[in-house]
Amino acid sequence: MNVTRVSRVLSKRTLLMSSAFPRFFSVTNGNGRLESSKVLTGGSMNPFVKQIEYAVRGAIVIRASEIEKELKEGQSKPFDHVVKANIGDAHALGMKPLTFPRQVISMCVNPELLDDPRFPADAKDRARRILNGTGGFSMGAYSDSAGLEVIRKDVAKFIENRDGYPANYKDIYLTSGASEGIRSILKLLQTSVNQGKERAGVMIPIPQYPLYSASLSELNSYQINYFLDEDNSWALDTDELKRAIDAARSQCVPRALCVINPGNPTGQVLSYENIQSIIRFCKQEKLVMLADEVYQANIYAEDSKFHSFKKVLRDMGPEFEHMELISFHSTSKGFLGECGFRGGYMEVVGLDPEVRFHLNKMLTAKLCPSVVGQAMMGCLVNPPQPGEESYESFTQQKTAVLQSFKERAKLVQDTFNSVEGFHCNEVMGAMYSFPKIDMPHKAIIEAKARGLHPDSFYAMQLLEETGLCVVPGNGFGQREGTFHIRLTILPPIDALKPLFERFKAFHKKFLDKYK
Amino acid sequence: MNVTRVSRVLSKRTLLMSSAFPRFFSVTNGNGRLESSKVLTGGSMNPFVKQIEYAVRGAIVIRASEIEKELKEGQSKPFDHVVKANIGDAHALGMKPLTFPRQVISMCVNPELLDDPRFPADAKDRARRILNGTGGFSMGAYSDSAGLEVIRKDVAKFIENRDGYPANYKDIYLTSGASEGIRSILKLLQTSVNQGKERAGVMIPIPQYPLYSASLSELNSYQINYFLDEDNSWALDTDELKRAIDAARSQCVPRALCVINPGNPTGQVLSYENIQSIIRFCKQEKLVMLADEVYQANIYAEDSKFHSFKKVLRDMGPEFEHMELISFHSTSKGFLGECGFRGGYMEVVGLDPEVRFHLNKMLTAKLCPSVVGQAMMGCLVNPPQPGEESYESFTQQKTAVLQSFKERAKLVQDTFNSVEGFHCNEVMGAMYSFPKIDMPHKAIIEAKARGLHPDSFYAMQLLEETGLCVVPGNGFGQREGTFHIRLTILPPIDALKPLFERFKAFHKKFLDKYK
């Protein structure tokens, strides 16, 4: 099967559905004026921005917000609230923030609280440490563009403890979430042209987290899809990597490989040997490695373990040590779930010093990431230690969150697998299930008649009838002819159980109608 | 005089000095390995990133940080600390944060404090209002990509009160500082090609804030320089706009005009009539207007007043109402100076609905700006009102900050004008003085012999001998043959006075040597 062609066709079809501007808007503006009075129009604006897609906050999510307003206005629905299981946003779904980081940050923001006896000594210590690293003892001063040195050093120590190899704080860049770091590196990879076969090619997994496809669209770099093997627990097969890169060479200059581990939306966790073979592949094909490791703390399967790309690379010895690897982490996932703070870091190793010079310069023009977000990262990498006042309560809260995620992961996958026509691989890690739906032929026909992708058609009906908001699989990419939804495992167990009852009833009705 | 040619020559020369990679780094990496083992090199990386310049954090600022370390290590210098007057970073230079916003935000971050009797009722009210607008009553939840609706609504009200015209909260986008909004709009303006005369042209003032030139470099859009009239208090002359756009038409498709008002680095404040004529020019030439109004609260000259582009545009009536205007504001300047929080907004009016649709979609892929930064913007636009508990203390602090900036602006300009060979226009607003230096011919020769721009040469010596860190004028652009430095007015009066004594002594010595 010619998978590249399939994926191009697929991509074109998805485009029609989620990046196109709804027709009914486009003739005149609010004043009935012809659009030609505008400088920027659909015809004159940046065409690469037009081709961006981002389904995680796409049409179904917009409809979910409308339904929330309709409920507020008193409209009657078969449910009393919407569950937004479309995005990995733990706090929005009821998770309580951990106490320690919030104490630290409230003192950083309002240093008068440093004298408050209610706060524990270790939290005060962390807050002072961070404030001493700022300009004028204030979170309101700009930091260096790469972040506060004190926190970069704590990140380096965190990585050293995790991997057992040295990490240099100068290789650490604090970023606004992981996304901003990823975008910066994709930007570096772009070539002098943004069209034709000389443009940069970047390998990404399918299914993928759509930040990658959206950023590559914006840069008009070439997206090289490699498919994860759903029949084999979403494994990453290097033969497939080879197929994908060879097929892409006539379209672009392949320059980098992105890996998401643990996987989003797939939940797979790469084995040590698998990472070794990916690194060998990148060496052979001369690719920069981008390791998206934001879910590194979210491992649920008993026989899975998180191995960082940096550690495996260093284990492989001097022959591999020159390789270019950028790893990303975030405060938004793991056990903190502090998405709104926009904390993140990237560790950049092996980069040519001249490229590094220009990366640094590009970042200076962006001033700095949120200093409060940096402080949140500081709390993630420098938590209370044994013997410190908050150690027990912090550890207890952290363990409870991770244990609860683990239970939810199991509940979600088991429930899907108990439903006719659903197949869900084990959620080994991360925060999502990505079950496959055996879509009835009649439903596919009906969806196409309405101009919808079949899994969008399914997800929209699921939303309207149960209040459950999920992202259709086409937003992440999937093999032609397969259909999926992504559901976060984040709704609390108490909410998940009745939700799944509604879901099962919906699905039965759907099957009765279209089977 | 052919100014376009001059500016091209100038731009090329500046490039050689601040965006080039120092030669001594470039042969081998730390392991003595040849650079050809790298995928990304100076030759293969994104050339548009290479051409970025950003002098506000350039070579002189890097040297300033080195000197700080040398002082810490006990090296003897003619001064005991470095004064970083290179950047508008008020808190780093000793300004104390206002109390009210910090109270609000510490409660938002740590809602347990909502019960604390030490906090005033209005601060609690604001914190609850913001938290009620978040997911799960937590700053850790993602907001909508355009920001929390409650704060967007407060911004709209703030604009209505300021301008006397309606503002729609749907036109408000909260951003990570003003910079991120500016970059988003410049991104929209890009055309399908990033080279040749079909690419987008954007008019920017010279001197300019280098975020503009850096972002245009990164996009490889064409920078159309229009020169402000230094001999006429840095006035913006529409004849010069006409000259600049006509000269650029063979190089690009002009699509937008940026105005910085009050000006950075020039400190000028545009008159009402001046803004009217700029709007007429943009209508005639079919340009999108970008109004960078981050210094709108920083007005010092007795006969100056801030007029927003939005208000003037609406005053001009229906003939102009369809025009595309994007205005930017920030929490980093004004009387808050809260740079590290990265709060900002843009108001987008007149945009074609299809373009707006794609802007919204592009922003969703960036998730959201820091929710804490959004809360800081909430405090800026919804401050304590008469009758509320914090009103008096807040107003007193605000007035004191602005009054003190006003005194410093006068002190700085008067001091420069009292020094032989310095000419400083009135600092009517913003946070900077940008005096012209009559550079002695011998100093120019000497600078060129060392491969330095003459005002970089001057600024570097000033730093080494006095500890005063300023940005050389070539980082902002200036007319060929003129030389400047930019000094923020932010060092406290007590620090400015002795600093200026050292500066005067340095300058006399410099003149003695090179005159």
The answer, for A132 touching chain B at a CB cutoff of 8 Å, is no
Tell me the chain A residues in contact with residue B214 when contact means C-beta distances shorter than 8 Å: 362, 365
For residue B438, CA distances in Å to B9, B224, B418, B469, B482 come to 21, 27, 14, 19, 8
How close B346 comes to chain A (CA, Å)?
17
Q: Is B20 on the interface with A (CB under 8 A)?
A: no
Displacement of CA A13 from its chain's centroid (Å): 23
B210/chain A closest Cα distance in angstroms? 8
Residue B103, chain A, CB below 8 Å: the answer is yes
Size (chain B), residues: 515
Q: How far is CA B295 from the centre of its chain?
A: 9
Average pLDDT over residues B481-509: 93
pLDDT band at A29 (very low <50, low <70, confident <90, very high): very low
pLDDT for A16: 33
Contact B106/A110, CB-based, under 8 Å? yes
Strand (E) or helix (H) holding A259: strand A253-260
Whether pLDDT at B35 is above 50: no
Indicate whether A51 pLDDT > 90. Answer: no
What percentage of chain A exceeds 90 in pLDDT? 82
Pick B339's closest partner by Cβ from A107, A140, A255.
Answer: A140
**Predicted confidence band at A215 (pLDDT cuts at 50, 70, 90)?**
very high
Whole-angstrom Cα distance, residue B91 to residue B339? 8
The predicted structure's pLDDT at residue B52: 84
Most B CBs within 10 Å, among A339, A348, A351, A490, to test the B interface: A339
What pLDDT band is residue A2 in, cutting at 50, 70 and 90?
Answer: very low
Q: How confident is the model at residue A36 (pLDDT cuts 50, 70, 90)?
A: low
Per-residue pLDDT tens digits for A285-332: 999 999 999 999 999 999 999 999 999 999 999 999 999 999 999 999
Percentage of chain A with pLDDT > 70? 92
CA-CA-CA-CA torsion for A416, A419, A422, A427, nearest 10 degrees?
Answer: 20
Threshold 0.80, pTM exceeds? yes
Degrees, nearest 5: CA angle A449-A451-A455: 95
- Two tokens at B242? 């006409």
Most A CBs within 10 Å, among B65, B359, B361, B431, to test the A interface: B361
- Residue linked to tokens 């592949």: A281
Contact assignment for A339 to B140 by CB distance below 8 Å: yes
A318, closest residue in chain B (CA to CA): B31
Chain A residue numbers with beta carbons less than 8 Å from the beta carbon of B322 are 29, 31, 33, 37-38
| Token reading at B237 | 């002359």
Of the ranges A16-25, B156-165, B180-189, B262-271, which one carries the lowest mean pLDDT score?
A: A16-25
pLDDT at A231: 95
Question: Across the interface, do A191 and B373 touch by the CB < 8 Å criterion?
Answer: no
Q: Are A343 and A373 in contact (CB under 8 A)?
A: yes
Query: A142 and B89 in contact by Cβ < 8 A?
Result: yes
* pLDDT at residue B486, as a whole number: 95
Quick one: pLDDT band at residue B10, thresholds 50, 70, 90?
A: very low
Taking residues B406-435, report their average pLDDT.
96
The percent of residues in chain B predicted with pLDDT above 70, rounded, is 92
* Nearest chain A CA: its distance from B484 CA (Å): 21
Q: Is the pLDDT of residue A398 over 80?
A: yes
Q: Is the pLDDT of residue B24 over 80?
A: no
Q: Quick one: angle between helices A272-285 and A238-248, nearest 10? A: 20
Beta A253-260 vs A288-292: how paired, if at all?
Answer: parallel
* Cβ pair B321, B308 in contact under 8 A: no
Residue in A with minimal Cα distance to B363: A54
Residue closest to B23 by CA, chosen among A204, A353, A58: A353
Between CA B91 and CA B79 the distance in angstroms is: 22
Q: Distance from A77 to chain B by nearest Cα, in Å?
A: 22
Q: What six digits make up the tokens of A396?
A: 């207890």
Q: Which of residues 305-324 of B touch A (CB under 8 A)?
A: 321-322, 324
pLDDT at B249 over 90: yes
- Verify whether the Cβ–Cβ distance B52 to A145 is below 8 Å: no
Contacts of A370 in chain B (CB under 8 A): 176, 340-342, 370, 372-373
Contact of B47 with chain A, judged by CB distance below 8 Å, is answered with yes
For residue A504, the model assigns a pLDDT of 95
Closest residue to A40, CB basis, from B94, B189, B338: B189
User: How far is A379 from A100, CA to CA, in rounded Å?
Assistant: 8
Please report the pLDDT score of residue A21 as a whole number. 66
Cα dist from A45 to A216, B190, B244, whole Å: 17, 7, 23
pLDDT in tens, B56-105: 667 888 899 899 999 999 999 999 999 989 889 999 999 999 999 999 99
With beta carbons under 8 A apart, name residues in chain B contacting A336.
140
ipTM above 0.90, yes or no: yes
pLDDT (mean) for B177-206: 90
Alpha-carbon gap, residue A63 to A69, rounded angstroms: 10
For A382-391, the CB contacts below 8 A with 24+ separation are: A382/A126, A382/A154, A382/A157, A382/A158, A383/A100, A384/A100, A384/A122, A385/A122, A388/A120, A388/A121, A388/A122, A389/A120, A389/A121, A389/A122, A389/A123, A390/A99, A390/A100, A390/A103, A390/A120, A390/A122, A390/A123, A391/A122
* Coil/strand/helix, residue B84: strand
DSSP strand E in A263-341: where? 288-292, 325-330
Indicate whether B370 pLDDT > 70.
Answer: yes
Domains of chain A: 52-82+394-514 (3.90.1150.10), 105-381 (3.40.640.10)
Q: Starting at the edge strand that comes first in sequence, how are the strands of the sheet with B343-349 ordered? A: B172-176, B343-349, B325-330, B288-292, B253-260, B200-206, B222-227
pLDDT, residue B36, reads 61
pLDDT for res B19:
61
User: A358 and B145 in contact by Cβ < 8 A?
Assistant: no
Q: Which residue of A has its CA nearest to B285?
A: A39
The distance of Cα B475 from the centroid of its chain, to the nearest Å, equals 13
Are B140 and A338 inside 8 Å of each other by CB? yes
A233-254 mean pLDDT? 96
- The reply to whether B396 touches chain A by the CB within 8 Å rule is no
List, as one string, the DSSP characters of B211-266. Answer: HHHHHHHHHT-EEEEEE-BGGGTTB--HHHHHHHHHHHTTT-EEEEEEEESS-TTT
pLDDT tens-digit readout, B288-303: 999 999 999 999 999 9
Give me the pLDDT at residue A25, please. 42
**To the nearest whole percent, how much of chain B has pLDDT over 90?**
82
Rounded-to-integer distance, Cα B37 and Cα A321, Å: 11
Give the pLDDT of residue B49: 87
Q: Which residue of chain B has the CA closest to A181? A: B366
Residue-wise pLDDT tens digits, A482-499: 999 999 999 999 888 889
Q: Is A340's CB within 8 Å of B138's CB? A: yes
Residue with tokens 């992961």: A409
Task: State the smallest CA–CA distance between residue B328 and chain A in angstroms.
Answer: 16
**pLDDT tens by residue, A192-214:** 776 788 899 999 999 999 999 99
Question: Residue A385's pLDDT is what?
Answer: 98
Average pLDDT over residues A347-373: 94
- For the CA atoms of B472, B474, B480, B481, the dihedral, rounded to the nearest 10 degrees, stands at 20
pLDDT category, B7, cuts 50, 70, 90?
very low
- Distances, alpha carbon A259 to alpha carbons A278, A390, B182, in Å: 9, 35, 31
**Residues whose CB is less than 8 angstroms from the CB of residue A243 and which lie 6 or more positions away in sequence, other chains included:** A3, A226
Question: Comparing A372 with B20, which gets the higher pLDDT?
Answer: A372
Give A342's contacts in chain B (Cβ within 8 Å).
176, 367-371
Q: Which of B20-34, B338-352, B428-442 has the lowest mean pLDDT?
A: B20-34
B94 touches chain A (CB under 8 A): yes
Q: Among A49, A324, A341, select the one facing B372 at the smallest CB separation.
A: A341
How would you label A326-352 residue by residue, b for 16+ Cβ within 10 Å and e otherwise?
A: bbbbbbbbbbbbbbbbbbbbbbbbbbb
Of A180, A322, A337, the CB nearest to B31: A322
A15 in contact with B, Cβ within 8 Å:
no
Tell me which chain A residue has its CA closest to the CA of residue B35: A352
| Closest partner CB to B138 (pick from A91, A105, A288) | A91
Q: What is the pLDDT of residue A103?
A: 98
Mean pLDDT of A14-43: 56
B residues 169..228 contacting A (CB < 8 A): 176-177, 179-180, 187-195, 210-211, 214-215, 218
Q: Where are the alpha helices (DSSP H) in B52-112?
A: 59-72, 99-109
For residue B240, is pLDDT > 70?
A: yes
Residue A356 contacts B, CB cutoff 8 Å: no
User: By the 8 A CB rule, do B288 and A40 touch?
Assistant: yes
Q: Give B102's contacts in chain A (Cβ within 8 Å).
A: 109-110
Query: What average pLDDT does chain A have?
Result: 91
Q: Do B322 and A33 touch (CB under 8 A)?
A: yes
Structure tokens at B483: 């030389």
Cα diameter, chain A: 70
Indicate if the pLDDT at residue A4 is higher than 50: no
pLDDT for A392 beyond 70:
yes
In the stretch 398-457 of chain A, residues with CB closer than 8 A to chain B read none
Label residue B502 exposed, middle or buried (CB < 10 Å: 0-12, 13-18, 19+).
middle
- Note whether A38 contacts B350, CB cutoff 8 Å: yes
Q: What are the pLDDT digits (tens) for B61-72?
A: 889 989 999 999
φ, ψ of residue B21 in degrees (nearest 5) = -85, 130
Say yes or no: A114 contacts chain B, CB-CB below 8 A: no
Query: Is pLDDT above 50 for B178?
Result: yes
